[in-house]
Amino acid sequence: MTHLTDLWRERGVGRLLPRLVIIGAVAMFAIGTAWELLSERHTIAQSTANANLAAIAGPPCPAVSAAGFQSALKAQDLTLKYVFDFNGDTFGRAIGDGDCDVAAAKGSGGFGSYDVCQFTGPAVLYVKTGRGEFFFLPGLGHKATVMTEGGSARCVMAAPNLDY
């Protein structure tokens, strides 16, 4: 009487089984990765819609050097009371509220993104990205939006999505 293991050996199933397990594991990894990328792309698309980039238009915020920023803080008796991290970038302001979202980077096919942070009246804004530190003086009571596309911070005097 032939044993089942002998039949497997005769037909090469013993060598095939480990290969099938490996192929199955690789396929599951690939499917999981594709699902995660598509989910991330959907999330970025939704966040881009929330950021409402088309409505963010205004003159640039006054930009200053680190020394000019320190002088402005001292002259106005301000500190960076509110400092927070968002997606690896650091944002600081003296007063007011802030809200951040992400937007799809141009030419990224929906996979790359950058930060869009809106502030109600920060007086001063500090931004640190992988490309350096950026200092802005939008002024007391002026809304401002900071965008970090390409790792450089850009600030405009508008924050249409913040009504408070």
Helix/strand/coil for 116:
strand
C-alpha distances out from residue 117 to 2, 71, 135, 145, 162, Å: 72, 24, 14, 6, 10
**Run of H or E residues at 33:** helix 13-51
Containing structural domain, residue 44: 1-164
Q: Determine how many CB atoms are found less than 10 A away from the CB of residue 95.
A: 16
Q: What is the tens place of the pLDDT at every residue in 31-81?
A: 555 545 454 444 444 544 554 555 577 899 999 999 999 999 999 999 999
The confidence score (pLDDT) of residue 42 equals 43
The confidence score (pLDDT) of residue 103 equals 84
Q: Is the pLDDT confidence value at 24 over 70?
A: no
The region of weakest confidence among 12-26, 83-97, 115-129, 150-164 is 12-26
Number of structural domains (the chain) is 1
Q: What are phi and psi of 70, to 5 degrees?
A: -60, -40
Integer Cα distance of 80 and 113 in angstroms: 26
Under 8 Å between Cβ of 155 and 125? yes
- Give the residue, 162 or 43, on which the prediction is more confident: 162
Q: Is the pLDDT confidence value at 13 over 60?
A: no
Residue range 16-45: mean pLDDT, rounded: 57
